Amino acid sequence: MQKILDDKPRLLMILGNTLKAFDPLEFAVKLDKMMRTDDFLILDGEIFNQTETIAGYDNPINREFAFGPLSSVGLSEPEDGILNIDTDLDNRQPGLYRIRKQFHVARYLRILLARETVLLPSNTNIEMSWSYKYDRDALIGLITSSGMQLIAEHASTDKKFITLLLKK
């Protein structure tokens, strides 16, 4: 009797530093539910470096990209406020860092958002998306905490990223 295709091991890939967009503590649990015994996972992540990581986000091209949602509702810098890009620790686990984007409102603003008027008082902070970064041990610890086994690890030439091969 032939095996059904669904019984064969699968290869799941989370590439392009996509993991950064998910809460890392919740992601491993969700991933564990998706993966079956004998499935493989290829995952990459950015290794945090205070100077180089923030420079990758706080530069003219990325600032313009990050400001896109704000400009779409008519906001501009510096008249309406300032976009701040910074890092902090996620204290839930050592080796876990966030790149945080916040827009600090400089003056009272009235914007139209999804056909609703939104009032933004001066000195309000609009919290925007976070992006997670890791030290090597934290990334491996997070992903193996769900029971996956690390099969292989490859660091990029510049040591800024690692790619992991794991098996459930």
- What is the model's pLDDT at position 1? 46
Asked, for residue 79, whether it belongs to a domain, the answer is: yes
Segments in the chain forming alpha helices (H): 24-34, 50-57, 60-71, 136-144
Lowest-pLDDT range of 21-30, 118-127, 153-162 = 21-30
Q: Please check whether residue 8 lies inside any domain of the structure.
A: no
Q: Is this model's pTM higher than 0.85 or not?
A: no
Indicate the number of domains in the chain. 1
Residue-averaged pLDDT of the chain? 88
Whether residue 18 has pLDDT greater than 80? no
What range defines the domain where residue 72 resides?
19-29+39-167
Q: Which of 33-37, 99-103, 136-140 has the lowest mean pLDDT?
A: 33-37
Q: Look at residue 152 in the predicted model and tell me its pLDDT.
A: 97
Tell whether the model's pLDDT for residue 40 goes beyond 60.
yes
10 in a domain, yes or no? no
The verdict on residue 115 lying in a domain is yes
Q: Name residue 90's amino acid.
A: D
Contacts of 66 (CB under 8 A, 6+ apart): 57, 83, 85, 101, 128
Is the pLDDT assigned to residue 54 strictly greater than 60? yes
12 belongs to a structural domain: no
Inform me whether the pLDDT recorded for 50 exceeds 90. Answer: no
The answer as to whether 149 is a domain residue is yes
Q: Is 159 contained in some domain?
A: yes
Strand-pair category, 40-46 with 11-14: parallel
Mean pLDDT of 117-145: 91
Domain for residue 88, yes or no? yes
pLDDT band at 30 (very low <50, low <70, confident <90, very high): confident
> 108: pLDDT confidence band, cut at 50, 70 and 90?
very high
What is the arithmetic mean of pLDDT over 14-27? 75
- Mean pLDDT to the nearest integer, 151-160: 93
* CA-closest candidate to residue 31, choices 134, 145, 111: 145
